[in-house]
Amino acid sequence: MSRQAKQKLKPTPFRWRLQLVSVVILLVFGAIGARAAWIQVVAPDQLRHESDLRTLRLETSEVQRGMITDRNGEMLAVSVPVMAAFADPKLVRDGNGFEDLRRWRALADVLELDADSLIAKIRDSRGRFLYIKRQVTPAVAEYIRQLRIPGISLKPESRRYYPAGEITGQLVGLTNIDDKGIEGLERNFDDWLTGSPQKMRVRKARSGEVVENLSVVEEGENPNDLVLSLDMRLQALAYKALKRATQMHMATSGSLVIIDIPTGEILAMANTPSFNPNQRRGIQAYQLRNRAITDAYEPGSVVKPLVVAAALEKELVTADEMIDTSPGWMRVSGGLVRDGRNHGKQDLGTLLEKSSNIAMAKMALQMDVEELLAFYADFGLGTYSGINLDGEYTGNVPKRHRWSEHERATLAFGYGLTTTPLQLARMYAILGGDGVARPASILKRRAIPEGEQVLSPQVARQVVEMLIGVTEPGGTATRAAVNGYRVAGKTGTSRKAIAGGYGEDYVTLFAGLAPAEQPRLAMAVVINEPQGDSYHGGTVAAPVFAEVMGDALQLLNVEPSQGRALRGTLANNRMGSSDVVTR
């Protein structure tokens, strides 16, 4: 090959191509640099905001409601962890969640729902959140997870559980499905029990996991436990005996209250009919009522000790004074006052023991009616007890400008006014506490309140001594006697008022205290509308008192009365007793 041909075959560099590639590379890096500058300098906040919208979330911690316990730490209300099943209809549709209907039928079966209705509900929803069922047990929640239906998720929540069930139903109350108190103590102390959750700003990954805790938005507040003055041992005794008596006498309802005399604490507060807050289907409104504080009745003879105490305090009579009640009836302006029989001339203690209406009326008519009503108020009648529970009724102690003699007389034996079972128990607690009135408390006290002296200790002891005869042979309430202890108390039997007068239904009552020489417990028992021939306080309410008081004193290790050693069981004092009392 010639030299000239070889020269033609030598490659010639294309400089313009190199320059073009260089320019393109520079433009690309320039664009990248410009974009980086834009991101870092010009618009960082906007891009950071868009990122935060995708990753930043507000996380709320779960706070369980505080416990309610009795004075000894026994749980009466506690929150247990459960789950809530919910759906995101958009995710269900996007994930083809409706393809496998067998999973939906399995879901509906385990949740006790109609499958077709459930599917239609989610299909028709245009929202992003829909509850399927609340308060699902952990076992059911795990089954739902295993179904793996797109868009179906679970979130933690809590459900309230009440170990005592119907025994404390009306008192403790209940919460709604959102764990908010709606009845009883759950409602009264809702803020105290609830606390508040902590709110934190977190960064989440696409999978939903928290990758970074950023800041605390709102500090939480721990829930508080509620310690009651209640003693569940006594509460269970009270409810069991009250329920049995209510059923035995086919009564409409019943209430029982026990107060610790030295402190004013309520150790038991039972009502029938009750309800089980753990099983809410079929609960009626009347079952929710705490009748010990909401229902008021004419107390009948139960208030007669107050008339005696007032007369002794004002020195209108003496403890051994003889009062003539012959011939067993007394005409007063506006009506007639009668005794069950002619008691003749007897001392004050015997007439109280025999429950003489005439003796009480005579003493009441010697007093100014306003003074007597003020004395009743000092003992808690017509006033709040200090328990501070929603729904508490003060009863009705009338205030008038003019009173007939008959109206004044009937006040002395418990007609013309109404009281609650709690008020009656507190009245006898004041008598047993040497005339010192302390506010009642359903919460366990750290210190005993000083109280107010509303009756001289000497008179209080005199009245208590007189009331011992009521439960001893010859009294109107021998069935209220407690083996080994001296009991002071009073029966009450009152007709229920109807439009235009009084009907044929009765309220039977017994209120008392024990041991009489050093009173520890005061108790009131009310049985409303017992059916049958037995409807007196001495035959219906007194046996309940004896049963519960006897067992309560033994449980609390209260020393028996001197000269009254315990003899075996308390069976002879209970409803099977052969003693028959007609008042």
Location of structure tokens 């911690």: 61
What pLDDT is stored for residue 219 in this prediction?
A: 67
- Active-site pick, 301, 385, 494, 561: 301
Location of structure tokens 């006897």: 550
Length of the chain (residues): 583
Q: What's the gap between Cα 169 and its chain centre?
A: 7
pLDDT in tens, 499-521: 878 888 999 999 999 999 999 99
Distant-in-sequence contacts of 55-58, Cβ < 8 A, 24+ apart:
55/203, 55/204, 55/205, 56/201, 56/202, 56/203, 56/204, 56/214, 57/201, 57/202, 57/203, 57/204, 58/199, 58/200, 58/201, 58/202, 58/217
What is the spatial distance between Cα 381 and Cα 144, in angstroms, rounded to a whole number?
58
Cβ-in-10-Å burial (0-12, 13-18, 19+) of 186 comes to: buried
Name the pairing type of β-strands 199-204 and 210-218: antiparallel
Name the pairing type of β-strands 226-227 and 68-69: parallel
What pLDDT is stored for residue 583 in this prediction?
A: 33
Instruction: Show the domains of the chain with their CATH numbers.
Output: 59-227 (3.90.1310.10), 232-276+290-573 (3.40.710.10)
What is the spatial distance between Cα 581 and Cα 353, in angstroms, rounded to a whole number?
13
**Residues contacting residue 470 through CB under 8 Å, at least 6 positions apart:** 352, 353, 355, 476, 477, 480, 488, 489, 490, 491, 512
CA-only gyration radius of the chain, Å = 38
What pLDDT is stored for residue 141 in this prediction?
A: 92
For residue 33, CA distances in Å to 28, 43, 49 come to: 9, 14, 22
What pLDDT is stored for residue 370 in this prediction?
A: 93
> Quick one: tokens of 96?
């083809």
CA angle centred on 515, ends 557 and 413, rounded to 5°? 140
E strand or H helix at 195: none
Q: Residues 361, 413: contact at Cβ < 8 Å?
A: yes
The residues facing 18 across adjacent strands are none
pTM for this one?
0.83
Name the pairing type of β-strands 322-324 and 181-183: unpaired
E strand or H helix at 175: strand 174-175
- Residue 301 annotated as catalytic: yes
How many CA atoms lie less than 13 Å away from 574 in the CB half-sphere? 15
What pLDDT is stored for residue 2 in this prediction?
A: 55
What pLDDT is stored for residue 556 in this prediction?
A: 96
Tens digit of pLDDT per residue, the chain (583 long)?
555 555 555 555 567 777 777 888 888 888 888 777 766 776 666 656 656 555 666 666 667 889 999 999 999 999 998 999 999 988 888 888 888 889 999 999 999 999 899 989 988 888 889 999 999 999 999 999 999 999 899 988 889 999 999 999 999 999 999 889 999 999 999 999 987 766 777 666 665 566 666 666 666 678 899 999 999 999 999 999 999 999 999 999 999 999 999 999 999 999 999 999 999 888 898 899 999 999 999 999 999 999 999 999 999 999 999 999 999 999 988 788 999 899 999 999 999 999 999 999 999 999 999 999 999 999 999 999 999 899 999 999 998 888 999 999 999 999 999 999 999 999 999 999 999 999 999 999 999 999 999 999 999 999 999 999 999 998 889 999 999 999 999 999 999 888 878 888 999 999 999 999 999 999 999 999 999 888 899 999 999 999 999 999 999 999 998 765 444 433 333 333 333 222 3
DSSP 357-392: HHHHHHHHHHS-HHHHHHHHHHTTTTS--S---TT-
Please give the biggest Cα pair distance in the chain: 169
DSSP 2-60: -HHHHHHHS----HHHHHHHHHHHHHHHHHHHHHHHIIIIISHHHHHHHHHHHHEEEEE
